[in-house]
């Protein structure tokens, strides 16, 4: 069933993105008076086709759905030298258009992808989405968050630069992560304003030590920032495990580990992994008294509150990914995180959608540049297998997640097509830019040479992306 969901979500995602991209080319071509011969969704043998009586364009759905194209009337693409375009149609040939019109037609595809991303993000922002609150879990000792003064339980409300200027509100944990990612890419210092029961305080955060590899991984964990405020309970206990031997039961709520409050599953798991073979002391609430402190305060009778201390010694186990010895107690966790509904008005949603699209586009270009210089790993490249996987996962999470995923891929498609690589839209734009500056078109000979080089680049990038897909699939 999951495989079917992934396939359907993948086909829908690719279909929408291809149609929007190619329709961008088509609409501006028609606006500029260029005759469009064919609009094809997919490549290869046509499965369905019809001809528009109004425009004469042949609309086609082809067998291979990984892409599409718009074929315009062009004297350079005549297969037979004896063929000639009718005199009446010559003004409508693509190659007869001015440089400005050709640039507009070619750029329209990527621009359509960016517009789609803005609309999708705006729709998500306007409809509202439930996200984890920006509550900080207890940070590990010696991390940047701990050194900044976070103790856990604070709710971050805004981010500003090192001087306290350019303050931006923080509405959720996802919002916080994105703002810190943008700042971390430039290795800036920021100030996080957070409130707790005693008021609102500023926490200076130094991001200058983060490397490109840190940004490839979960950089928030490297800073010691984990989403907190969760209620952790034992969802299941393995037979014969350390958890069962210690007396832990399904439904027990975890309150503290070795005296440290527990409100983050990843923090708890990390602590257990780091204490293989060493006894750790858990404070838990059991049965009807899972909210131990609240029940005690309301009942006024501590005897009715079933809080207890449990000592468990994590078993030693080799981590399949790192090969290191880690601790494991053999219990499944369930986390009930505090969440917030993030919703914006129509105008604000469009503005935020445009800003988010711009930020992601710039981030993508910077990351691609760093991959070229070796500062970032080529593992960041993903192919159709990974896209299908994330398409299925986002579809199962709901409409908002799928629309956000679609917006991200649409931006990636737009950015990729604008790269100055021959055979891509960006390569053609480069030709036309040279023509606009020099007054002469790039010769057919040079275009042929550059196209072959561009095709080699595309094949190489596709091969790397496919290798990364397979490596993720088989954990190579």
Catalytically active residues are: 22
CA distances from 359 to 82, 117, 266, 400, 428 (A): 51, 12, 28, 19, 25
Q: Which two structure tokens, joined as six digits, stand for 430? A: 């480069």
Strands 331-336 and 231-237, by their bridges, are antiparallel
* Continuous segment of H or E residues that includes residue 198: none
What CA–CA distance (Å, rounded) separates 173 from 175? 5
**Exposed (0-12), middle (13-18) or buried (19+): which is 196, by Cβ within 10 Å?**
middle
The label of the residue with tokens 């192919």 reads 383
Q: Which two structure tokens, joined as six digits, stand for 264? A: 């983050």
Rg (CA), the chain: 28
What CA–CA distance (Å, rounded) separates 418 from 35? 24
Q: Which two structure tokens, joined as six digits, stand for 153? A: 């339980």
**Exposed (0-12), middle (13-18) or buried (19+): which is 252, by Cβ within 10 Å?**
buried
What CA–CA distance (Å, rounded) separates 310 from 307? 10
What CA–CA distance (Å, rounded) separates 112 from 9? 21
Question: How open is the CA angle 170-172-174, to the nearest 5 degrees?
Answer: 105
């Amino acid at each position: 069933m999951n495989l079917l969901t992934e396939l359907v979500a993948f086909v829908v995602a690719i279909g929408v993105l291809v149609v929007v991209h190619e329709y961008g080319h088509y609409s501006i071509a028609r606006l500029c008076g260029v005759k469009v011969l064919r609009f094809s969704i997919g490549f290869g043998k046509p499965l369905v086709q019809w001809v528009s009586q109004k425009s004469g364009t042949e609309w086609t759905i082809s067998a291979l759905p990984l892409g599409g194209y718009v074929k315009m009337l062009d004297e350079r693409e005549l297969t037979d030298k004896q063929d000639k375009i009718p005199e009446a149609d010559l003004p409508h040939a693509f190659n007869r258009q001015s440089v400005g019109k050709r640039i507009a037609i070619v750029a329209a595809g990527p621009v359509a992808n960016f517009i789609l991303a803005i609309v999708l993000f705006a729709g998500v922002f306007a409809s509202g989405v439930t996200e984890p609150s920006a509550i900080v879990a207890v940070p590990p000792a010696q991390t940047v968050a701990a050194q900044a003064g976070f103790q856990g339980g604070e709710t971050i409300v805004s981010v500003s630069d090192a001087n306290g200027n350019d303050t931006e509100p923080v509405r959720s944990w996802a919002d916080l992560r994105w703002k810190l990612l943008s700042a971390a890419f430039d290795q800036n210092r920021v100030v996080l304003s957070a409130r707790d029961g005693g008021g609102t305080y500023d926490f200076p955060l130094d991001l200058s030590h983060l490397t490109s590899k840190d940004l490839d991984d979960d950089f928030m964990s490297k800073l010691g920032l984990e989403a907190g405020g969760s209620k952790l309970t034992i969802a299941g206990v393995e037979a014969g495990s350390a958890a069962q031997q210690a007396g832990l039961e399904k439904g027990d709520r975890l309150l503290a580990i070795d005296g440290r409050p527990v409100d983050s599953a990843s923090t708890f798991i990390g602590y257990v992994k780091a204490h293989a073979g060493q006894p750790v002391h858990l404070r838990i609430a059991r049965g009807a008294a899972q909210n131990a402190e609240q029940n005690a305060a309301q009942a006024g009778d501590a005897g009715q509150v079933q809080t207890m201390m449990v000592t468990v010694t994590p078993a030693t186990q080799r981590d399949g990914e790192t090969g290191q010895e880690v601790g494991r107690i053999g219990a499944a966790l369930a986390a009930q995180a505090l969440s917030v509904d993030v919703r914006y008005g129509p105008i604000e949603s469009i503005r935020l959608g445009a800003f988010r699209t711009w930020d992601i586009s710039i981030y993508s270009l910077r990351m691609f540049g760093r991959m070229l210089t070796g500062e970032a790993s080529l593992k960041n490249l993903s192919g159709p297998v990974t896209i299908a996987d994330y398409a299925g996962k986002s579809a199962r999470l709901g409409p908002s997640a799928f629309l956000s995923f679609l917006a991200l891929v649409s931006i990636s498609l737009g950015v990729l097509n604008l790269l100055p690589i021959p055979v891509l839209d960006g390569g053609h734009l480069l030709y036309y830019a040279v023509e606009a500056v020099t007054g002469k078109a790039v010769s057919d000979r040079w275009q042929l040479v550059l196209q072959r080089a561009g095709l080699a680049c595309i094949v190489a990038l596709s091969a790397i992306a496919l290798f990364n897909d397979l490596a993720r699939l088989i954990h190579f």
